[in-house]
A and B are shown apart, each in its own frame.
Chain A
Amino acid sequence: MSKKVNSSVGAALHKVIMVGSGGVGKSALTLQFMYDEFVEDYEPTKADSYRKKVVLDGEEVQIDILDTAGQEDYAAIRDNYFRSGEGFLCVFSITDDESFQATQEFREQILRVKNDENIPFLLVGNKCDLNDKRKVPLSECQLRAQQWGGVPYVETSAKTRENVDKVFFDLMREIRSRKTEDSSKSSSRTKDKSKRRKLKCTLL
Chain B
Amino acid sequence: MAPPPLVTGISPKEGPPGTKITIRGENLGVKANDLIGVQICGGDCSFEWQSRNKIIARTGINGTKGKGDVIVTSLSGGAGTSTVQFRTYTEMIGPLKESAVWVEESPVQSLAWGRRTMAPSGYSQEDPLGLSIEGNEKKFPDDLREIFPEHSGDLSRENFSPCWFLLENHHATSFDDLKAGYSFLKRKVEGQKEGQLSFLKTHVSAVIDQLDTLMNLKTKMEIEGEIDLAKRVNNLQGTIEKSIESSHELFDDVLSRREKADKARAALSVLNRYKFLFCLPTNIEKNASKNEFDIIVNDYARAKNLYGKSEIPLIQKVLAEVDEIILEIRRKLHQKIQEMPQGVEQQKRFVKSLINLEIQQVGTIQSEKLKIVDPAWGAIESRARYIEQTFKNTYEEFQERENSMKDNSKRDLNAPPIRVLFCEEITEIATGQFPDLWRLGQSYFTGELRGINEPKPGNFKQIILNAIERFCSYVRAAILPQNQKFQAVASWAFTSSSQLQQFSTWLPTCLRYLRVSYASLIRLDLPGEALDIVLKLIDELRLFCLTTILKRAIDKVKKLHEKETWELTVPEFPGATALPSKLEEILVEVLDEGQQICLMMEVRENPLFDTPNSEGHREVAKIVETILSCFSNVVEELATERSDDEVQHMPKQLIGFPTNSSLLPHSINLTEAKSTISSTITITWEHRLLCCLANSAYCNKTFINSLGNLFVKFGYPIPKLALENSRTIVNNVFSNLLEIYVEHKSDPLVSTIEPSMYIVSHFKWNRVEKFDNLSPYTHECLDNVVSVYSEIFAVSPFLLRPILEQIIQTIAEELARLMSCVEEFNVIGKKQATLDIRMIRDVLRVYSNERAKASFNEALESIPKLANDENREVENLLAIIKQQMKLQLMCLTVLNP
Select one of A47, A62, A73 contacting B12, CB under 8 A. A47
Residue B462 lies at the interface, judged by CB distance under 8 Å to chain A: no
Q: Is the CB of A45 within 8 A of B84?
A: no
- B13 to chain A: closest CB distance in Å? 4
Give the chain B neighbours of A47 by CB distance below 8 A: 12-14
Q: Is the CB of A45 within 8 A of B12?
A: yes
Given the known A-B contacts A35-B24, A35-B53, A46-B15, are A51 and B98 also in contact in the complex, defined by CB atoms under 8 Å?
no
Q: Is the CB of A73 within 8 A of B13?
A: no
Give the chain B neighbours of A74 by CB distance below 8 A: 100
Residue A190 lies at the interface, judged by CB distance under 8 Å to chain B: no
Identify which of residues 37-93 in chain A touch chain B, using a CB-to-CB cut-off of 8 Å: 37, 45-52, 62, 64, 66-67, 73-74, 76-77, 80, 83-84
Give the chain B neighbours of A141 by CB distance below 8 A: none
Q: Say which one of B3-11, B343-351, B664-672, B741-749 lies at the interface with A.
A: B3-11
A51 vs B15: C-alpha distance in the bound complex, in angstroms? 19
Q: Is the CB of A46 within 8 A of B12?
A: yes
Residue A154 lies at the interface, judged by CB distance under 8 Å to chain B: no
- B581 to chain A: closest CB distance in Å? 93
Q: Is the CB of A48 within 8 A of B8?
A: no
Interface centre among B13, B85, B142 (most CB of A within 10 A): B13
Give the chain B neighbours of A73 by CB distance below 8 A: 100
Q: Is the CB of A34 within 8 A of B24?
A: yes
Residue B141 lies at the interface, judged by CB distance under 8 Å to chain A: yes
Give the chain A neighbours of B139 by CB distance below 8 A: 83
Q: Is the CB of A48 within 8 A of B15?
A: no
Give the chain A neighbours of B9 by CB distance below 8 A: 30-31, 34-35, 48-52
Q: Is the CB of B98 within 8 A of A50?
A: no
Interface size on B, residues (CB 8 A): 20
Q: Is the CB of B83 within 8 A of A67?
A: no
Give the chain B neighbours of A46 by CB distance below 8 A: 11-12, 15
Select one of B10, B141, B142 contacting A49, CB under 8 A. B10
A66 vs B24: C-alpha distance in the bound complex, in angstroms? 14
A84 vs B142: C-alpha distance in the bound complex, in angstroms? 9
Given the known A-B contacts A34-B8, A48-B12, are A76 and B142 also in contact in the complex, defined by CB atoms under 8 Å?
no
Q: Is the CB of A76 within 8 A of B98?
A: yes
- B20 to chain A: closest CB distance in Å? 10
A30 vs B9: C-alpha distance in the bound complex, in angstroms? 10
A31 vs B11: C-alpha distance in the bound complex, in angstroms? 11
- B653 to chain A: closest CB distance in Å? 128
Give the chain B neighbours of A64 by CB distance below 8 A: 83-84
Select one of A30, A31, A49, A83 contacting B84, CB under 8 A. A49
Q: Is the CB of B24 within 8 A of A50?
A: yes
Look across to chain A and name the residue whose beta carbon is closest to the beta carbon of B140.
A83
Give the chain B neighbours of A37 by CB distance below 8 A: 53
Q: Is the CB of A48 within 8 A of B142?
A: no
A51 vs B24: C-alpha distance in the bound complex, in angstroms? 10
Q: Is the CB of B53 within 8 A of A67?
A: no
A73 vs B22: C-alpha distance in the bound complex, in angstroms? 21
Q: Is the CB of A45 within 8 A of B11?
A: yes
Given the known A-B contacts A47-B12, A51-B8, are A80 and B24 also in contact in the complex, defined by CB atoms under 8 Å?
no
- A41 to chain B: closest CB distance in Å? 12
Give the chain A neighbours of B100 by CB distance below 8 A: 73-74, 77
Given the known A-B contacts A34-B24, A46-B15, are A51 and B53 also in contact in the complex, defined by CB atoms under 8 Å?
no
A94 vs B15: C-alpha distance in the bound complex, in angstroms? 32
Given the known A-B contacts A35-B24, A74-B100, are A66 and B13 also in contact in the complex, defined by CB atoms under 8 Å?
yes
A71 vs B460: C-alpha distance in the bound complex, in angstroms? 68
Q: Is the CB of B24 within 8 A of A49?
A: no
- B692 to chain A: closest CB distance in Å? 103
A24 vs B39: C-alpha distance in the bound complex, in angstroms? 32
A127 vs B468: C-alpha distance in the bound complex, in angstroms? 66
- A48 to chain B: closest CB distance in Å? 4
Give the chain B neighbours of A76 by CB distance below 8 A: 98
Q: Is the CB of A50 within 8 A of B142?
A: no
Look across to chain A and name the residue whose beta carbon is closest to the beta carbon of B21.
A48
Q: Is the CB of A51 within 8 A of B141?
A: no
Look across to chain A and name the residue whose beta carbon is closest to the beta carbon of B14.
A47
Q: Is the CB of B8 within 8 A of A52?
A: yes
Q: Is the CB of B84 within 8 A of A51?
A: yes
Give the chain A neighbours of B14 by CB distance below 8 A: 47
Look across to chain A and name the residue whose beta carbon is closest to the beta carbon of B139.
A83
- B518 to chain A: closest CB distance in Å? 60
Look across to chain B and name the residue whose beta carbon is closest to the beta carbon of A34.
B9
Q: Is the CB of A50 within 8 A of B141?
A: no
A189 vs B141: C-alpha distance in the bound complex, in angstroms? 25
Give the chain A neighbours of B84 by CB distance below 8 A: 49-51, 64
- B55 to chain A: closest CB distance in Å? 13
Give the chain B neighbours of A80 by CB distance below 8 A: 141-142
Given the known A-B contacts A34-B24, A51-B84, A74-B100, are A67 and B142 also in contact in the complex, defined by CB atoms under 8 Å?
no
A84 vs B141: C-alpha distance in the bound complex, in angstroms? 11
Instruction: Mark each residue of chain B from 310 to 334: 1 if its CB lies under 8 Å from any CB of chain A, else 0.
Output: 0000000000000000000000000
- A14 to chain B: closest CB distance in Å? 13
Give the chain B neighbours of A30 by CB distance below 8 A: 9
A77 vs B12: C-alpha distance in the bound complex, in angstroms? 14
Give the chain B neighbours of A48 by CB distance below 8 A: 9-13, 22
Q: Is the CB of A49 within 8 A of B13?
A: yes
A74 vs B15: C-alpha distance in the bound complex, in angstroms? 14
- B446 to chain A: closest CB distance in Å? 49
- A185 to chain B: closest CB distance in Å? 20
Give the chain B neighbours of A45 by CB distance below 8 A: 11-12
Given the known A-B contacts A34-B24, A80-B141, are A52 and B98 also in contact in the complex, defined by CB atoms under 8 Å?
no
- B184 to chain A: closest CB distance in Å? 30
A66 vs B9: C-alpha distance in the bound complex, in angstroms? 10
A74 vs B8: C-alpha distance in the bound complex, in angstroms? 24
A64 vs B8: C-alpha distance in the bound complex, in angstroms? 9
Instruction: Mark each residue of chain A from 78 to 115: 1 if its CB lies under 8 Å from any CB of chain B, else 0.
Output: 00100110000000000000000000000000000000
- A61 to chain B: closest CB distance in Å? 12
Give the chain A neighbours of B53 by CB distance below 8 A: 35, 37
A117 vs B86: C-alpha distance in the bound complex, in angstroms? 31
Give the chain A neighbours of B98 by CB distance below 8 A: 76
Give the chain A neighbours of B8 by CB distance below 8 A: 34, 50-52
Give the chain A neighbours of B85 by CB distance below 8 A: 49
Q: Is the CB of B141 within 8 A of A67?
A: no
- A164 to chain B: closest CB distance in Å? 15
Interface centre among A31, A47, A49, A76 (most CB of B within 10 A): A49
A51 vs B7: C-alpha distance in the bound complex, in angstroms? 9
Look across to chain A and name the residue whose beta carbon is closest to the beta carbon of B6.
A52
Instruction: Mark each residue of chain B from 158 to 172: 1 if its CB lies under 8 Å from any CB of chain A, else 0.
Output: 000000000000000
A62 vs B6: C-alpha distance in the bound complex, in angstroms? 14
A67 vs B15: C-alpha distance in the bound complex, in angstroms? 15
Interface centre among A37, A46, A83 (most CB of B within 10 A): A46
A112 vs B85: C-alpha distance in the bound complex, in angstroms? 27
Given the known A-B contacts A50-B84, A51-B83, A80-B141, are A67 and B11 also in contact in the complex, defined by CB atoms under 8 Å?
yes
Identify which of residues 53-93 in chain B touch chain A, using a CB-to-CB cut-off of 8 Å: 53, 83-86
Look across to chain B and name the residue whose beta carbon is closest to the beta carbon of A73.
B100
A48 vs B141: C-alpha distance in the bound complex, in angstroms? 19
- Apart from A35-B9, A46-B11, A51-B84, what 16 extra A-B contacts exist at CB < 8 Å? A35-B24, A37-B53, A46-B12, A48-B10, A48-B11, A48-B22, A49-B9, A50-B9, A51-B9, A51-B83, A52-B8, A64-B83, A73-B100, A76-B98, A80-B141, A80-B142
Please report B residues at the A interface, Cβ cutoff 8 Å.
8-15, 22, 24, 53, 83-86, 98, 100, 139, 141-142
14 A-B interface contacts by CB (under 8 A):
A30-B9, A35-B9, A35-B24, A35-B53, A45-B11, A45-B12, A47-B12, A48-B12, A48-B13, A48-B22, A49-B13, A50-B9, A50-B24, A83-B142
Closest 7 CB pairs of A and B: A49-B13, A48-B11, A50-B9, A51-B83, A46-B12, A49-B84, A52-B8
